[in-house]
Amino acid sequence: MSKLIKTLSAAVLACGVMSAPVQAASSLVVNGTLHKVEGGTTFDTWKIVMLTTGSFTVDVAAYEASQSNVNTAGYYTHDINGDGKLTWLDPDTYFYHDNGTGSILASDAIFRCDDVSNNCGGSNYFNGYTQETSPVSRTTRLQEEAPVDGSVHFRRDPWYDVSVNAAGNYLFLIADFRLDPAEAAAGINGGDSFSPPSGGFIDPILDHADYRVTFSSDSLRFSLSGDTITVSAVPVPAAVWLFGSAMAGMIGFGRRKVLVAAA
């Protein structure tokens, strides 16, 4: 075995030892349930720790019918989470700064996205942020894309691409339409109720509503611990570094031989 092949073999062996199993994945699905309580409805808060800048997609599926009125053409119901029940969350999502205190402050609100291509545009930023200046910005997907996003409602479930321009700690809030920053700070979506299809839907479930959120990215990785979602860059495998080093060594070795031969 030549010295070069031995070097490469050693690199591959080292790689086998160093590349520990990576838990982070290119997509992450979280599920939750919001509840009707005295005075309104609950909302959920997920922490998002952004270790890097980059882009990812947020895709919410919740409202378990294709239209909000049973008489609308194309109306059908679909049990998204397969629990045998139809529930009626019209999801409203928000990004906030995570101030680390456990309290949600209106002054930390960054943006809102309510629906596919609705209440998800330039005027739905808070605290003076704009699409251009926000540390986290988003661009809605379009209604005509909806058939592939896992949602069934014509637009109620938000679906958008997030651009993280500053690494840091953020909060992702999901509520029933709509959760004003003052309500988020107060801890309850005041006076809110879930919205079953109109037009004669019989005996709707109104005490709770379920949701599913899929985070995905071509260039970032997600991991979940409790209610904290950590988003990181795709790690460069140890094998790549070691192979690169070995190749550099080979090139240097080859070059020295040429120089010696030329002398």
Whether residue 246 contacts residue 15, with contact meaning beta carbons closer than 8 Å, is answered with no
Give 192's strand partners.
Answer: none
| Least Cβ distance, residue 26 to Ca ion (angstroms) | 26
Of 124 and 230, CB closest to Ca ion: 124
| Least Cβ distance, residue 166 to Ca ion (angstroms) | 26
**What six digits make up the tokens of 262?**
């030329």
Of 8 and 65, CB closest to Ca ion: 65
Residue linked to tokens 């998800």: 120
Of 61 and 110, CB closest to Ca ion: 61
Of 108 and 114, CB closest to Ca ion: 114
Contacts of 187 (CB under 8 A, 6+ apart): 104
| Least Cβ distance, residue 12 to Ca ion (angstroms) | 48
Of 178 and 232, CB closest to Ca ion: 178
Give contact residues for Ca ion (rule: CB under 5 A): 79, 81, 83, 85, 90-91, 114-115, 156, 183, 189, 192
| Least Cβ distance, residue 62 to Ca ion (angstroms) | 8
Question: Strands, DSSP E only, in the chain?
Answer: 27-37, 40-41, 44-50, 54-61, 91-97, 109-113, 136-140, 159-164, 168-176, 189-190, 208-216, 220-225, 228-233
Residue linked to tokens 């160093």: 18
| Least Cβ distance, residue 157 to Ca ion (angstroms) | 6
Give 17's strand partners.
Answer: none
Residue 39 is classified by DSSP as T
